Structure 1
Amino acid sequence: MFALYLVVTLLASAVNGLAAIANFIGHEYPKSQADKLRVPRSWMRPLGAVLAAGALGLLAGFAVPVLGTLAAAGLVLYFLGALGAHLRVGDYQLGPWGVFFCLPVAALTVSLAYHGAW
């Protein structure tokens, strides 16, 4: 069970960390998504900070399990908000969103299964 917890958590942390970096450096993909979703580009760094905090929180969960669980739950909520932004503008191409959403859901599920619910 630990191996699954380790792999899923590291994968979710890496993907969200890379997404945070893309937001911080002004990569074209997050900017194009912001434009498509009518989100101000000035939000890219704060949203990147939320992703970075989630990625670091997942890693911190190896030392303090409750932090990892809360970080995974926070990322799930973040991506539910992203779903709302997509639906608000009528964007139903949700493939990339689905990948980003499923990773923290999996991390949350595995964390709860490995550490147990509080």
Structure 2
Amino acid sequence: MSTAYIVVTLVGAAMAAFSAGSVFFHAKWVVQPLADYRVPRPWWPWLGTAKAAGAAGLVVGLFVPVIGVLAGVGLVLYFAGAVITVFRARWYSHLPFPLVYAAPVVGSLALAFAA
């Protein structure tokens, strides 16, 4: 296991956990766009839980690699769904935001497969 893999994985987990916490604590800069994208409010806790589970899975994956891969794939799918949601809402200027959160997860997966 390389140092780069550990660092990128922990950065991805921290970013996913931060994003989950922002939903759980209803940070205005997160929940206002969710409302603007017409994401139903009852979904918000589930979306936060999915990100939190993905973050935890990435950390656990440092010790149990298959869990990390599954968590990484789940987060990539989550953020791909976020990109689609933003695109469908026609907020094209917001497209980079889910991609920024997905980038370290993709990097973690790439480093995991390269090892």
**What CA RMSD, in Å, does the superposition of the two structures yield over aligned residues?**
1.1
Letter in 1 for 2:77: L
Aligned residues: 114
Letter in 1 for 2:6: L
Runs of 4+ deviating beyond 4 Å = none
Q: Distance in 2 between matches of 1:109 and 1:74?
A: 14
**Deviation of 1:25 (Å):** 1.1
**What residue is the counterpart of 1:42 in the other structure?**
42
Q: Distance in 2 between matches of 1:103 and 1:62?
A: 15
Q: Distance in 2 between matches of 1:85 and 1:64?
A: 32
**What residue is the counterpart of 2:86 in the other structure?**
86
**What residue is the counterpart of 1:21 in the other structure?**
21
Letter in 2 for 1:48: G
TM-score w.r.t. the length of structure 1 is 0.91
Please state if 1:111 is matched with 2:99: no
**Deviation of 1:51 (Å):** 0.1
Structure 1 gaps of 5+ residues are none
**What residue is the counterpart of 2:102 in the other structure?**
101
Structure 2 gaps of 5+ residues are none
**Deviation of 1:15 (Å):** 0.5
**Deviation of 1:92 (Å):** 0.8
**Deviation of 1:40 (Å):** 1.5
Q: Distance in 1 between matches of 2:44 and 2:30?
A: 7
Q: Distance in 1 between matches of 2:97 and 2:79?
A: 11
Please state if 1:53 is matched with 2:50: no
Letter in 2 for 1:37: Y
TM-score w.r.t. the length of structure 2 is 0.93
